[in-house]
Amino acid sequence: MLNDKKEELKDDYSLINSNAIANYCRSIEYKFNTEELAVLVFRNKKISVNAKIAKYEELIKNYPDMEVIERINCKHYDSVKTLIKNEIQRLKKLEKALTLNEGNSICAWVEYNKSTKRREYNLDQTFKTFNEALNDIQSYIKEFDDTISFTITKKYFEKRRKNIHAEYIIKDQKIILNNLVEEGNNFLDIDQIFINIPTPFKKGDILISNSTMINLYGANNDIFVLDYLCTWRDGMNEFLAKGNYDSSDMIGYGYYFVNDDTTEFVVDHQWDYDSFEYYNGELTGKYRILKDISSFIKGEISLELFIHSYDMFKAEFKSDIPQFYTDEGLKFAGMTDGDIYRINHTKR
């Protein structure tokens, strides 16, 4: 494989992306079954493909077998170990195809960096082989020391061949291959399984989402105030046992800012609750509003104080109401006809 160094996992809890959740599960000595552990291995955004395969093989050898029920986007398996073996085979097959010099493809890379917090494309150059692309991105990382993650894509000239994405993370200045993805193959059975993980989070907690910080799609590190977590639903395990839900439902709802240059906030979902962490940094500038929201939700301050504080923080920024409320809704909120025209019917 592309990672030679053997990695040791501290324990099964270290497979969880969130350190806060991992520590909580460890403290209550929560027991995961074999299927849940396999899903945690797949979802892990910190360890290498080699480490994943080693853990998969350990699950096959040392953990009890069990049935995998049919659910949305996941077929039935009499044996979870069959599911695990399929995933090992998938990774090894893609790794072999990625590094094979066939002369019918080119490779290119895209990186995600700290400075711009967005994906940066190396549009000017493609490479005949995977190793050439890897050497180039390694030189780039060494020179600029700003990369969080990157993806090398092998693009085939033949339409029948599916492109391969190799997803890497930078951890402690080391390059780690974290996942291999075949383009268009978005419904792997193991990727679609919802798991119910105990969490320490409460309504009103200020959290940060790192759900896509290191994958193909770039970063999503919004700070938000938690309003609801999917696992809080009564009878969640009974719903899962009937085949309801897939991994796209592993979400939390919270209050966060619409974008970087506004103090307007919305309540909406954040993906992958197993990647939520407590936000322990200092809240400055407009982010003091999140503390205001948190304290109000927790019942620590009155509505009057919340509004006065929000008005004060908001006054420090140029802010407009976003253009996704209806005219009727704005009128109910106390807006005049002039306000509504300015908000919804003028170009920005």
Per residue in 200-211, pLDDT (tens digit) is 999 999 999 876
Is residue 66 assigned to a domain?
yes
Q: Is the pLDDT of residue 193 over 70?
A: yes
150 shares a domain with 51? yes
134 shares a domain with 33? yes
158 shares a domain with 75? yes
294 shares a domain with 161? no
The domain of 175 spans 1-193
174 shares a domain with 222? no
228 shares a domain with 162? no
152 shares a domain with 87? yes
227 shares a domain with 160? no
pTM for the complete prediction? 0.85
Q: What is the pLDDT, as a whole number, of residue 310?
A: 92
Total domains present in the chain = 2
Is residue 345 assigned to a domain?
no
What percent of the chain clears pLDDT 70, i.e. is strictly above it? 91
Is residue 336 assigned to a domain?
no
130 shares a domain with 181? yes
Q: Is the pLDDT of residue 29 over 90?
A: yes
Q: What is the pLDDT, as a whole number, of residue 60?
A: 98
Q: What is the mean pLDDT of the chain?
A: 88
Is residue 201 assigned to a domain?
no
Q: What is the pLDDT, as a whole number, of residue 75?
A: 93
225 shares a domain with 169? no
Per residue in 233-289, pLDDT (tens digit) is 999 999 999 988 999 999 999 999 988 778 889 999 999 999 999 999 888 888 989
Is residue 129 assigned to a domain?
yes
Boundary (domain end) residue, out of 169, 193, 217: 193
Q: What is the pLDDT, as a whole number, of residue 8?
A: 55
120 shares a domain with 158? yes
110 shares a domain with 221? no
Question: Helix axis angle, 130-144 relative to 80-99, nearest 10°?
Answer: 90
pLDDT confidence tier of residue 215, bands split at 50, 70 and 90? very low
Boundary (domain end) residue, out of 193, 217, 237: 193
Is residue 328 assigned to a domain?
no
